[in-house]
Amino acid sequence: MSELTTVPKAIGGPSNYLDERLGAGNFLKRNLRKVFPDHWSFLLGEIALYSFVILLLTGTFLTLWFKPSMMEIEYAGSYAPLRGVMMSEAYASSLEISFDVRGGLLMRQMHHWAALLFVAGMTVHALRVFFTGAYRKPRELNWIIGVLLLTLALAEGLTGYSLPDDLLSGAGLRITEGVAISLPLVGTYITFFLFGGEYPGEDVIARFYSLHILLIPGIILALVSAHMVLMWMQKHTQMPGKGRNNHNVVGAPFYPAFMAKAGAYFLFTFAVIAGLATFAQINPIWLFGPYTPADISAGSQPDWYMGFLEGALRIMPSWEINMFGTANAGTLPLSVIIPALVPMGIIMTGLALYPFLEQWVTGDKREHHVADRPRNNPHRTSIGISAITFYGLLWLLGANDEIAANFHVSLNWTTYVGRVLIFVGPALAYLITYRMCLGLQRYDAGVISHGVESGVIKRLPHGEFIEVHTPPADDIEAHVRGKRPVLMLPVDDDSSGIPPKGMRGPLGKLRGLMSKAYGGEKIPLDDGHGDGDGHAAIGEGSDDHTLTR
């Protein structure tokens, strides 16, 4: 094959023209060879990114026909069972998109499936970042941007769900109103401001429409850009492995390898969303009927990402406080305020603050570019699984009526059991995960000290059978040896029994205790794995912290 030694004029000319005016050549030269590490879990965030692109495209299509108006009209479209029914223009135009616009139903379904996958992609991406500690310095701000994006995605989902003005979306809107009006002091003002008067009024669809198609997606787009730029500048974290450290990135260059993979992954995402939209019906608004505040249906549920709030509302006992013993002086409906604000507050605030809390506990101010394996920071992993259990139980209980109806259990018992599990479940999950992490660490230590099973069985002269172990492969050993102990604050008292500075007082003592538990090396790699077969045994939660000093 002949080598090209000069750039063809047809390419060189325009490129030069642009380069002289934009200075893009230097930028591209620097960035096209940017190295990206390779691991399947690093692509999870891209699910959200590509779903967002598909949401923008399909959403634009939908705006061409959707009418954000609550004016009452009589339906005269092609869906027979609703003909002659009075409904809002918003609902009628959603039906028009579904039945009378070519490709409209496919676009509506793609938009909805993409929305579900958008939030699901964000969720699994956030979990990956959390469990590998990829939020640590210098990436805390990007983590905060991510938490904001997740919150905005929920708001975007809520406003979008309400737009078609069908019976289900109305049920969601009613709960939104209930939450707003339950807020102490400002509740009624906020509700009247939001709905332009008494619920449901005639303004809310138009207002949600501008939030849904303009304000929230605009902010999301800006934050996504910031998220990507920061990721690009700070470089992506990498899994521990051969030749990888905090000062390099081992992987493939952006062009051509990573670009091809990212492009392919966009097509995969597109295919999954288009495939779901073609074969699986979603949000069949024509079955729900138009919204009237007097009607409500069994099985009224929000989209999955609101399910945890629904579950919290369903298991909450009906507590309320009448101020000064009379409803005239105002009522504090705890049965609405607590489920609406507490789980969301725990999860979102917890996510946002976690990097800073961890730093406060471990005193770790170092930069990290090599990811942790989840087992190597057992307390973080246990906290994460505990939070997943909390969220997952609430999510599951949001569907307790469908569970009761389809699995023939008593609806009341799902509630009673849920009220207990929501406290017991996360605690159990914490303990179990912690033991599993230590077990896996012990297994790693076994791989280092014993090697891996070779499949060769040997019989010794005295009759005993043993399986011959071989040393692990280089890359596996490097991956395992990528373990770094979690940092710990200097917590021990000095020789005269005085605790170090910052560890005095109740808060300081708590910090010291947490640091002692959270940090330190639990199962050192090179100490064998404590199974009592001739190696040094390791005591429970070994107190050997020499590696961390």
Partner 1 sequence: MTRITAWRRHPLARYAVLIFALALVGMAYTAFAQASQPADAALASGRVDDVAEGKALFEAHCGSCHGLNAQGTGTGPTLIGVGAAAVDFQVSTGRMPAADPGAQAPRKPQPQWVNEDAIRKLGAYVQSLGQGPTVPSAEQVDPKLGDAGKGGELFRANCIQCHNWAGAGGALTQGKYAPNLNESSPTQIYEAMITGPQAMPVFNDSTITPEEKRSMIAYITQVREQKDPGGFGLGRIGPVTEGLVAWIAGLTALVLSAIWITAKKRQKS
Residues 90-149 that bind partner 1 (CB under 8 A): 98-99, 105, 109, 112-113, 116-117, 120-121, 124
- Window contacting partner 1 (CB under 8 A); options: 221-229, 235-243, 286-294, 339-347: 286-294
Among 84, 461, 497, 539, binds partner 1 (CB under 8 A): 84
Instruction: Provide the minimum distance between the beta carbon of 160 and partner 1 in the complex, in angstroms, as a whole number.
Output: 13
Residue 477's contacts (CB-CB under 8 Å, 6 or more residues apart) are 447, 448, 471
Smaller CB distance to partner 1: residue 307 or 485?
A: 307
Q: Which residues from 191-220 bind partner 1, rule CB under 8 A?
A: none
- Window contacting partner 1 (CB under 8 A); options: 194-202, 300-308, 328-336, 424-432: 300-308
Residue 448 and residue 481 in contact, taking contact as beta carbons nearer than 8 Å: yes
Hey, what are 80's tokens?
């027979």
- Window contacting partner 1 (CB under 8 A); options: 194-202, 266-274, 332-340, 442-450: 266-274
Q: Which residues from 402-441 bind partner 1, rule CB under 8 A?
A: 402, 404-405, 408-412
Instruction: Provide the minimum distance between the beta carbon of 357 and partner 1 in the complex, in angstroms, as a whole number.
Output: 29
Instruction: Provide the minimum distance between the beta carbon of 456 and partner 1 in the complex, in angstroms, as a whole number.
Output: 10
Instruction: Provide the minimum distance between the beta carbon of 82 and partner 1 in the complex, in angstroms, as a whole number.
Output: 6
Smaller CB distance to partner 1: residue 65 or 99?
A: 99
The contact pattern for partner 1, residues 19-48, with x = CB under 8 A and - = no contact, is: -------------------xxxxxxx--x-
Smaller CB distance to partner 1: residue 168 or 340?
A: 168
Smaller CB distance to partner 1: residue 31 or 410?
A: 410
Among 80, 233, 457, 460, binds partner 1 (CB under 8 A): 80
Instruction: Provide the minimum distance between the beta carbon of 489 and partner 1 in the complex, in angstroms, as a whole number.
Output: 38
Smaller CB distance to partner 1: residue 298 or 460?
A: 298
Residue 457's contacts (CB-CB under 8 Å, 6 or more residues apart) are 465, 466, 467, 468
Instruction: Provide the minimum distance between the beta carbon of 507 and partner 1 in the complex, in angstroms, as a whole number.
Output: 41
452 has which bridge partners?
Answer: 470
Smaller CB distance to partner 1: residue 402 or 492?
A: 402
DSSP letter for each residue of 156-175: HHHHHHHTT-BHHHHHHHHH
Smaller CB distance to partner 1: residue 115 or 383?
A: 115
Smaller CB distance to partner 1: residue 295 or 492?
A: 295
The contact pattern for partner 1, residues 218-247, with x = CB under 8 A and - = no contact, is: ------------------------------
Q: Which residues from 459-518 bind partner 1, rule CB under 8 A?
A: none
- Site size for partner 1 (CB under 8 A): 71
Tell me the C-alpha distance between 480 and 320, whole Å: 54
Among 298, 329, 457, 460, binds partner 1 (CB under 8 A): 298
Among 127, 219, 223, 272, binds partner 1 (CB under 8 A): 272
**Is 352 exposed, middle or buried, given 0-12, 13-18 or 19+ CB atoms closer than 10 A?**
middle
Smaller CB distance to partner 1: residue 84 or 461?
A: 84
Tell me the C-alpha distance between 306 and 308, whole Å: 6
DSSP letter for each residue of 87-111: EEHHHHHHHHHHHTSTTHHHHHHHH
Dihedral over alpha carbons 124, 39, 434, 362 (to 10 degrees):
-90
Question: Collapsing DSSP states into helix, strand and coil, what is residue 59?
Answer: helix
In 23-103, where does DSSP find H-type helix? 24-31, 44-63, 89-99
Among 8, 23, 243, 299, binds partner 1 (CB under 8 A): 299
Phi and psi at 457, nearest 5°, equal: -100, 130
Query: Residue type for 272, please?
Result: V
Smaller CB distance to partner 1: residue 195 or 258?
A: 258
Residue 126 and residue 144 in contact, taking contact as beta carbons nearer than 8 Å: no
The contact pattern for partner 1, residues 60-79, with x = CB under 8 A and - = no contact, is: --------------------
Q: Which residues from 343-382 bind partner 1, rule CB under 8 A?
A: none
DSSP letter for each residue of 434-465: HHHHHHHHHHHHHHHHH-EEEEEEEE-TTS-E
Residue 105 and residue 99 in contact, taking contact as beta carbons nearer than 8 Å: yes
Hey, what are 71's tokens?
């004016």
Among 59, 307, 374, 519, binds partner 1 (CB under 8 A): 307
**Rule CB under 8 A: is residue 167 a binding residue for partner 1?**
yes
DSSP letter for each residue of 191-228: HHHHHTSSSSTTTHHHHHHHIIIIIHHHHHHHHHHHHH
Task: Write the CA distances from 433 to 203, 279, 380, integer angstroms.
Answer: 49, 38, 10
- Window contacting partner 1 (CB under 8 A); options: 13-21, 258-266, 318-326, 377-385: 258-266
Number of Cα atoms under 13 Å in the Cβ half of residue 8: 4
To which H or E segment does residue 313 belong? helix 307-315
Instruction: Provide the minimum distance between the beta carbon of 146 and partner 1 in the complex, in angstroms, as a whole number.
Output: 18
Phi and psi at 370, nearest 5°, equal: -100, 130
**Rule CB under 8 A: is residue 265 a binding residue for partner 1?**
yes
